Amino acid sequence: MISERLKKQFIHIVGSENYLDSKAEKLVYSYDATPNYQAMPDAIIVPRNTEEVSQIVRLCNEHKIPLVPRGSGTNLCAGTCPTEGGIVLLFTRMNKLLELDEENLTATVQPGLVTLDMIQAVEAKGLFYPPDPSSMKISTIGGNINENSGGLRGLKYGVTRDYVLALEAVMPNGDVIRTGGKLAKDVAGYDLTRLFVGSEGTLCIITEATLKLVPMPETKQTMLALYQDIEAAAKTVSTIISNKIIPATLEFLDQPTLEVVEDFAKIGLPTDVQAVLLIEQDGPLEVVARDMQKIQEICLAERAVSVQVAQSELEAEALRTARRSALSALARLKPTTILEDATVPRSEVAAMVKAINEIAIKHQVKICTFGHAGDGNLHPTVATDARDHEEMERVEAAFEDIFAKAIELGGTITGEHGVGMMKAPYLEWKLGAEGIAAMKAIKLAFDPNNIMNPGKVFAKESRKRVVVSR
């Protein structure tokens, strides 16, 4: 609870128009894109600059008030749900592109900047910012950094972490620190930059970031490979890479996903095949042509029933957009859409796809699977209804089995969505008690009062690893 006296202090910092605490406003920020998580904040504060953030953090630390930084709330791990109340720190007013440095190939941004807005500004200069989470039309860079967002181009280009060169951050005690620089090399002390990327708002509040850009690839080609055998599609993925070709994009969609996406996007996707791979290569013209030719041969050798190359950028963009809309399309099916993010070494994609289908049968749930196959990052998804408790139990049991299998195959419980509230109970499966202890030590050292997004990453109770047979 925030006392009247404290409320006045907050308003003194940001102005009354930037302090929101009506019931309606609190309701709006009581949830994010993650189904089944909701909790009311005590207030929403919209800071305008780093100094204001620092003052707010100091007050919160003094009064032990939870702070949840939030961009657009598009995360899928309940990372911005204010589970323990407190303040939602909303970055809509800190949304500027501060600098685009064409000599050093960097962009310096405020956290509230919408990802696509930045990408478009960068591309207008012939430069390229590769991380492209599916939510990029509305997600913010700050959110991307806090969650270490991935996207469709992770295989060749890496994830958000690989593009963050420098950060300004407000520490839990209100200190403002700067990490890194416009530097290709910097080993002055521990790599706080990368420790903060993906820390989900639990260690600090990020108030500015300098991002690495690369030259825009000259050209790009897109193809669809169609399969009647789902495991043949999955197998193709590792064959392409072990042939030493790294495509820019290597996406997998199974038949149920295709059907739903086609119904949503209506661009003529095949719905009578068991799976497709959406493959893109970018780079110099000659190289793209050569790689695409080779990839086509590999697909056919791996029993693709046909390979279709997009004939225009318009057609290619339609395919990409359709893929990006998979979650929205699936979300239309039923009231609750639960999308997971288990990730395995890419050599295990075929084994994982097979396991997911077996687990679906075992628990009698319908799982649509799509995802970044080149990264081993799959998104098995269930359309369900949270009010159907019996089905929800089966869904949860299925996902537990999927997590266990992913870890058994050398994988992880989350490739790009983050831990948040949602996966916290499973984190120990991946890290062991000792790994969790090491991470908790950092959290406690930075944030002894546990004001920074409390309840995220670390669970009060871990799930038992042994899945009880049902």
User: Which residues inside 136-195 make contact with its own copies, applying CB under 8 A?
Assistant: 147-148, 150, 154-155, 158-159, 161-162, 171, 175-179, 181-192, 194-195
Q: Of 85 and 418, which has the nearer Cβ to its own copies?
A: 418
Single out the segment in contact with its own copies by CB under 8 A; choices: 22-30, 294-302, 372-380, 392-400.
Answer: 372-380
Alpha-carbon span 45 to 38, nearest angstrom: 19
Of 138, 300, 431, 459, which one interacts with its own copies (CB under 8 A)? 431
Token pair 């005690």: residue:
173
Give least dist CB 390 to its own copies, A.
30
Q: Does 372 bind its own copies (CB under 8 A)?
A: yes
Q: Which is nearer to its own copies, 214 or 267 (CB)?
A: 214
SS3 211: strand
Binding residues for its own copies, rule CB under 8 A, total: 91
Contacts of 144 (CB under 8 A, 6+ apart): 115, 131, 133, 160
Cβ neighbour number for residue 266 with a 10 Å cutoff: 10
Beta-carbon count within 10 A of 470 CB: 8
> Residue 423 and residue 417: Cα distance in Å, rounded?
10
* Closer CB to its own copies, 442 or 467, in the complex: 442
Report the site for its own copies in 384-423 (rule: CB under 8 A): 410-419, 423
CB of 116 to its own copies, least distance (A): 21
Nearest approach in angstroms of CB 443 to its own copies is 8
Cβ count within 10 A of residue 187: 7
From 109, 99, 26, 35, select the one nearest 68 (Cα to Cα): 26
Measured between alpha carbons, how far is 382 from 258 in angstroms, rounded to an integer?
14
198 binds its own copies (CB under 8 A): yes
Q: Segment near its own copies (CB under 8 A), from 270-278, 298-306, 331-339, 371-379? A: 371-379
**The amino acid at 284:** P
Q: Which residues pair with 225 in a beta bridge?
A: 277, 307
**Rule CB under 8 A: which of 269-328 touch its own copies?**
283-284, 286-287, 290
Neighbour-count burial of 126, counting CB atoms closer than 10 A to its CB (0-12 exposed, 13-18 middle, 19+ buried): exposed
User: Hey, what's the torsion of the CAs at 196, 198, 203, 204, to 10 degrees?
Assistant: 60
Least distance to its own copies from the beta carbon of 343, Å? 5
Which of these ranges, 1-9, 19-27, 307-315, 439-447, lies near its own copies under the rule CB under 8 A?
439-447
Give residue for tokens 């809309």.
325
Question: What is the smallest separation between the CB atom of 441 and its own copies, expressed in angstroms?
Answer: 4
Nearer to its own copies, 27 or 445 (CB): 445
Furthest CA-CA distance within the chain: 71
Residue in 49, 242, 306, 321 binding its own copies, rule: CB under 8 A = 242
Residue 453 in the binding site for its own copies (CB under 8 A): no
* Residue 453 one-letter amino acid: N
The secondary structure of 412-452 as a DSSP string is BS-SSS--TTTTGGGHHHHHHHHHHHHHHHHHHHH-TT--B
Residue type, 201: G
Query: How would you classify the pairing of strands 19-20 and 43-45?
Result: antiparallel
Residues in 244-263 at the binding interface with its own copies, rule: CB under 8 A: 244-246
Q: What six digits make up the tokens of 201?
A: 């708002």
State yes or no: residue 445 binds its own copies (CB under 8 A). yes
Residue of the chain from 26, 324, 346, 463 that contacts its own copies (CB under 8 A): 346
Q: Which pair of tokens denotes residue 39? A: 């909790």
Instruction: Considering only residues 221 through 240, tell me which ones interact with its own copies, judged by CB under 8 A.
Output: 238
Kindly tell me which residue out of 51, 99, 101, 317 binds its own copies, with binding defined by CB under 8 A.
Answer: 101
- Label residue 206 exposed, middle or buried (CB < 10 Å: 0-12, 13-18, 19+): buried
- The residues in 39-98 that bind its own copies, with binding defined as CB under 8 A, are none
Of 18 and 343, which CB lies nearer to its own copies in the complex structure?
Answer: 343
Q: Which position among 241, 309, 351, 386 is part of the footprint of its own copies (CB under 8 A)?
A: 241
Continuous segment of H or E residues that includes residue 259: helix 255-265
User: Which CB sits closer to its own copies, 97 or 192?
Assistant: 192
Nearer to its own copies, 211 or 436 (CB): 436
Q: Of the candidates 442, 464, 465, 467, which one interacts with its own copies according to CB under 8 A?
A: 442
Query: In this chain, which of 205, 295, 344, 392 binds its own copies, going by CB under 8 A?
Result: 344
